[in-house]
Each structure stands twice: as structure tokens, then as C-alpha cells.
């Protein structure tokens, strides 16, 4: 009888220990899952809520991404809409890294927008969910340099990205900067750098960049 009570006490004690361990483990798992999810109300709308509830997060974010790429640069597509659409994409998929690269640099660096604050906000959100990404800090550094007029730091940040990543927008920015540096200094090394990027842009996905590159290469043919 005594042995049976002792046995029950030991089993009960072990059960409590296991329960505490499992509860702790599940709490850690739950906390990790929470950290992996999008945190915040930015981007929350009837459309994004419905997509999330129906399990269409990837599909919804892809549709919004296509709209963002196609609509950017249109006459009535304002900086606020780029920011809002980027938030909606993040709400559905905070790990969609191209959203941050594209939206953050476009809204900051295209002259008709020039919203560095939006660019910072978008890229910092991207860094929050993708802290191990190899390039997002360079994008952020480039936008920060542009906001301060620090052209040399901008070139360092963006050219380090272009060593490994095909980004026609950045190529266009870098080529433009080198052309302007050439016009001011007449240093042929600058225009050679611009030509280097225009040559790559001949195969750009967007026809606008292709035409611009071909026009510039024809203009500076002797450096080609």
C-alpha cells in the first residue's frame, strides 16, 4: 500500500514536471510563431483580411505586387499609394523581399515622388522581417545617402548590390549619376562607368530602360 502511494506520488510529480516542460516548450513555439507573423495594423483592409482568412495570402500578395509594378509611374499613382500597397503586401507576406527593394527605392528615388521618409519606412519594415537578407541594408544605406545628398556613399551602397543583383532601376540611377559627374568634371572614367551600366540595361525588362540605354549608348558611342 505504501509502495503504491509512493509510486503514485512519483508518477504525479513526474507528470507535473513534464506538464511544466511541455507548457514552456509550447509557449516558446507560440512565441516564435507570433514573431514570424506580420505584426501591426498597417496594410489591413477588407481585401487583405479576406485573403488571409481564406488562406490566399501568397496569391493575394502576388496580385498586389503585380499591380504595384504595373501602376508605378502612371500619372495618378501617388507616393501614398505605393506606400499603402507595399503595406498590404507586407500584411499578407512580410517576407516578400522584392516588395521592399522595389517599393522602397522607387518611392524615394524617382523624382516625381522623392519621399525618402516613405522609402525608409518601407525598407525598415523589410529589415525587421528579413534581418538576414544580404542586400536590404545596402538599399537602406543608399536611400539614406540620397536623402543627405551623399552621392559617393550612394554609389558604394548601390554598386555593391549591382555586383550580384540585377536591378534595372538602380542601374539607371547609378548610370545617371556617373553621367552627371562626367558632365561636371569631364573625367572620362565617369562616362565609361555610365556606359558600362547602359550596356547592361539594353536587356532590361522594361522597354523604357532599354530605349534610354540605347539612346545614351548612341550618344556616347566613342566610349562604348
* Overall average pLDDT of the 75-102 stretch: 92
The cell for 18 is: 513534464
Residue percentage of the chain with pLDDT more than 90: 61
SS3 content of the chain, % helix, strand, coil (to 5): 75, 0, 25
Give me the residue label for grid cell 499609394.
81
- What's the predicted TM-score (pTM) here? 0.78
CA angle 7, 12, 14 (to 5 degrees): 95
Q: Which pLDDT belongs to residue 75?
A: 65
> 187 in helix, strand or coil?
coil
Q: Which pLDDT belongs to residue 205?
A: 87
More confident residue, 26 or 180: 180
Of 56-60, 73-77, 166-170, the poorest mean pLDDT is in 73-77
Of 12-21, 87-96, 97-106, 208-217, the poorest mean pLDDT is in 12-21
* Buried b or exposed e, range 64-102, using 16+ CB within 10 angstroms: bbeebbeebeeeebebebbbebbbbbbbbbbebbebbbb
Amino acid at each position: 500500500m505504501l509502495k503504491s502511494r509512493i509510486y503514485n506520488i512519483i508518477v504525479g510529480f513526474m507528470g507535473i514536471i513534464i506538464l511544466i516542460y511541455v507548457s514552456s516548450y509550447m509557449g516558446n513555439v507560440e512565441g516564435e510563431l507570433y514573431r514570424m507573423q506580420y505584426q501591426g495594423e498597417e496594410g489591413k483592409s477588407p481585401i487583405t483580411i479576406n485573403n488571409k482568412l481564406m488562406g490566399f495570402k501568397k496569391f493575394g500578395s502576388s496580385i498586389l505586387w503585380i499591380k504595384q509594378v504595373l501602376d508605378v509611374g502612371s500619372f495618378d499613382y501617388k507616393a501614398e499609394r505605393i506606400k499603402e500597397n507595399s503595406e498590404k503586401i507586407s500584411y499578407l507576406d512580410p517576407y516578400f523581399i522584392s516588395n521592399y527593394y522595389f517599393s522602397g527605392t522607387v518611392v524615394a528615388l524617382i523624382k516625381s515622388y522623392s519621399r525618402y521618409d516613405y522609402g525608409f519606412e518601407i525598407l525598415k519594415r523589410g529589415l525587421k522581417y528579413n534581418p538576414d537578407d544580404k542586400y536590404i541594408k545596402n538599399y537602406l544605406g543608399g536611400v539614406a545617402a540620397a536623402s543627405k545628398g551623399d552621392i559617393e556613399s550612394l554609389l558604394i551602397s548601390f554598386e555593391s548590390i549591382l555586383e550580384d543583383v540585377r536591378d534595372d532601376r538602380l542601374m539607371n540611377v547609378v548610370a545617371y549619376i556617373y553621367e552627371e559627374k562626367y558632365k561636371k568634371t569631364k573625367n572620362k572614367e565617369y562616362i565609361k562607368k555610365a556606359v558600362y551600366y547602359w550596356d547592361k540595361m539594353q536587356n532590361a525588362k522594361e522597354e523604357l530602360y532599354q530605349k534610354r540605354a540605347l539612346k545614351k549608348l548612341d550618344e556616347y558611342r566613342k566610349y562604348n
